[in-house]
């Protein structure tokens, strides 16, 4: 969806995601998180900073999920700005 949209439509789609108060729900949902990651990879700098703030503030909630550690690693790799938000323990569990 994002990859095939032109820049204008992509920004509209991402703007709609950002307007919702359900970003945390998307973050914590296996499929919704995929949409967030794709959105973050093609948004403008202002949108990206907002995503980093919201996602960074909610990374600790990932430890409650079965896919949490894997997702944490993936998001940290794709978006290094999140690295300082939550630290991992040696046994790969989230703090």
pLDDT digits (tens, 9 = 90+) for 29-54: 878 888 888 888 888 888 888 888 88
Report d(CA 94, CA 91) in Å as an integer.
Answer: 9
pLDDT at residue number 86: 52
For the record, the structure tokens of 12 come out as 């509209």
Q: Is the pLDDT reported for residue 89 higher than 50? A: no
The structure's pTM equals 0.66
Count of Cβ atoms closer than 10 Å to residue 33 Cβ: 20
- Closest alpha carbon to 39 in 59, 61, 56, 15: 15
pLDDT at residue number 52: 80
Q: Is the pLDDT reported for residue 80 higher than 50? A: yes
- Coil, strand or helix: which one is 60? helix
pLDDT at residue number 76: 72
- Closest alpha carbon to 35 in 10, 58, 56: 10
């Amino acid at each position: 969806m994002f990859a095939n949209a032109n820049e204008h439509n992509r920004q509209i789609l991402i703007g709609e995601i950002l307007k919702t108060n359900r970003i945390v729900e998307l973050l914590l949902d296996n499929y919704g998180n995929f949409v967030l990651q794709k959105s973050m990879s093609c948004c403008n700098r202002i949108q990206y900073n907002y995503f980093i703030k919201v996602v960074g503030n909610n990374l600790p909630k990932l430890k409650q999920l079965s896919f949490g550690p894997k997702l944490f690693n993936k998001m940290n790799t794709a978006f290094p700005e999140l690295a300082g938000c939550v630290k991992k323990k040696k046994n790969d569990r989230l703090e």
